[in-house]
Chain A
């Protein structure tokens, strides 16, 4: 159970990190130094567990208040209910002044005033938001702008998606197979083209992608994006 939850977070994280990775320009090494301020309360890494604060593995892209068995403040749970996810942007705002963003959070930390500190510590945390899907694509792999610009037919995508939903759950749950709901269409299309071109490893996905046309990939990307809630 613990393992599957961990996996869930890791894959959820990868969803957003794809879009965000390029924007994380910080220095994770320096971020590790900055992180010492967090380490009194938060653990991160393979043996991390909840302490005063929740463990921070896969924090990027996770829904707020999402770590199992951690007792969050009502305020944090409310923010999660309202849709708060931890992206580099929302984390940056939060870390600047936690109580300004979520006034009744239990996290008693004044915040990181230095933008550089925040960017670096987020880059450090991103290292523990493992299994980034973006990282799986060969560095040189890119899809042409024309292909990415194809507007997907959502209705066709809905039909095609039935081939996906035998394994990938339509409600975005993940029990061992990655969630594919709500991806940015360009990320989705890039991933599918990477499978199609055998630039990303996975025999099932390579087979499925191999017979999808550019239009069909665009349709799927548009449909799964439309499922974002």
Chain B
């Protein structure tokens, strides 16, 4: 039916310019429409920028299932007791105020030939441009013994919201002198320093509340983001509490038993009180459904974040395979603005400026002890390529570290305002 109607309009337009205008009106879409799937750092930013900058010339629909979005970034600070859960929640009123039509629903199907998406609620939305920003899903069978049905016994807490709260509750309920285990993910994954900031924040909590407790980290990687900074901080602040077992010591040879609450690392089984399993990741499933994923991720063109599979479908943030940028909220926000500029240009003939990307990731090692890593990037034919970067130094003064932490708080306020509109 839809194809017929589209066909009809097309024919009418071709046949007679005078007739075509009322036909388009009758069909109810005089404006080009962008459908954005996922209201996180990529999707919310893209939706807001296109709506704001096109000043009503583009119809922007954002489809996001949750009414309150809890950021994954800063959720470790909630685990450490430095932030409250409410601090991380954001609603979509600011996006609506910017002119975005926010629909709280799930996208269940994408028809790229008809250029429509189907929602779980039954509605079908046509699009001229489709932006997918679904974040991550987990690779089935990545950690033997664990699957999504085990996520209550052994939370991943790697998507914001209830999983984070569950892990916090389990941390608080740990017996005196108990063991907190983490199974860290292989590359590439969301937020490279995230697992290690989490270890730091768990240690920060335990040091104050359960100082004889232990933390074991089983890691399939030989090294990790900001490793020297974290290891220095762990030795200085939490001496002896954290046992990091890298690839060289069998950290990748892991299985878990969620019903027995045991972790087996390189053949050695340990009974644990909390087990945070962060499995290998892949692009959010909608990219597979839309047929724009290739393997685990969705390859995109660096210049505008359009997919290699379909020039009218874009993928932002963690789900994209773009080159050198880390999977982070900052990156997704940065990519969203490049994408928004290109999409708006394609739909309204507004000026398209050259792509420019940047990222900075702050991590907290202990209260007021922040570190950061960042880089700038450019679009090449092949990928998003790193231009230049920096990282905090080991041995920095407490004053520098405190400033870095305060800066991260400023960044949180900044990026969430950039995503959702300023809080009124």
Contact = CB atoms under 8 A, between A and B. Distances in A.
Interface string A164-193: 011111110111110000000000000000
Contact of B353 (A4, A159, A170, A206): A159
Interface in A37-75: none
Contacts of B49: 162
Given A170-B418, A175-B409, A177-B410, 9 more contacts: A155-B351, A159-B341, A159-B351, A163-B337, A163-B356, A165-B418, A203-B374, A203-B390, A208-B358
Contacts of A173: 413, 417, 422
B364 to A, nearest CB: 13
Nearest to A203: B390
Interface string A1-35: 00010010000000000000000000000000000
Interface in A134-179: 155-156, 158-160, 162-163, 165-171, 173-177
A204 B374 contact: yes
A155 B390 CA distance: 30
B388 interface: yes
A167 B406 CA distance: 12
Interface string B385-424: 0011110000000000000001111111111011000100
Interface of B: 49, 53, 330, 333-334, 337, 341, 351, 353, 356, 358, 360, 372, 374-376, 387-390, 406-415, 417-418, 422
Interface residues of A, number: 28
Interface of A: 4, 7, 155-156, 158-160, 162-163, 165-171, 173-177, 203-204, 206-208, 210-211
B409 A210 contact: no
Pairs A-B, 10 closest by C-beta atoms: A176-B410, A177-B410, A175-B413, A162-B337, A203-B390, A176-B409, A167-B414, A176-B406, A159-B353, A171-B422
Nearest to A4: B409
A170 to B, nearest CB: 7
A155 B413 CA distance: 25
Contacts of B413: 169, 173, 175-177
Contact of A176 (B353, B389, B407): B407
B407 A177 contact: yes
Given A163-B337, A163-B358, A170-B418, A207 B375 contact: yes
Contacts of B415: 166-167
Contacts, number: 91
18 contacts: A155-B351, A162-B337, A162-B341, A162-B418, A163-B334, A163-B358, A165-B418, A167-B407, A167-B415, A169-B422, A171-B422, A175-B414, A176-B406, A176-B409, A176-B413, A207-B376, A208-B358, A211-B388
Contact of A207 (B330, B353, B374, B409): B374
Contacts of B417: 165, 169-171, 173
A167 B410 contact: yes
Contacts of A203: 372, 374, 390
A207 B389 contact: yes
Contact of B388 (A171, A176, A210): A210
Nearest to A155: B351
Nearest to B387: A211
Contacts of A206: 390
Contacts of B375: 207
B15 to A, nearest CB: 39
A166 B408 contact: no
A207 B390 contact: yes
B417 to A, nearest CB: 5
Contacts of B418: 162, 165-166, 169-170
A174 B410 contact: yes
A210 B390 CA distance: 13
A165 B411 CA distance: 9
A131 to B, nearest CB: 11
B370 to A, nearest CB: 11
A169 B390 CA distance: 23
B353 to A, nearest CB: 5
B220 to A, nearest CB: 30
A159 B340 CA distance: 10
Nearest to B359: A166
Nearest to B329: A166
B411 A177 contact: yes
Given A159-B341, A176-B408, A210-B388, A169 B414 contact: yes
Nearest to B409: A176
A95 to B, nearest CB: 33
Nearest to B375: A207
B334 A166 contact: yes
A218 B410 CA distance: 25
A103 to B, nearest CB: 32
Contacts of B333: 166
B358 A207 contact: yes
Contacts of A176: 406-411, 413
Candidate in A173, A177, A210 with the most chain B CB atoms within 10 angstroms: A177
Nearest to B390: A203
Nearest to A174: B410
A203 to B, nearest CB: 4
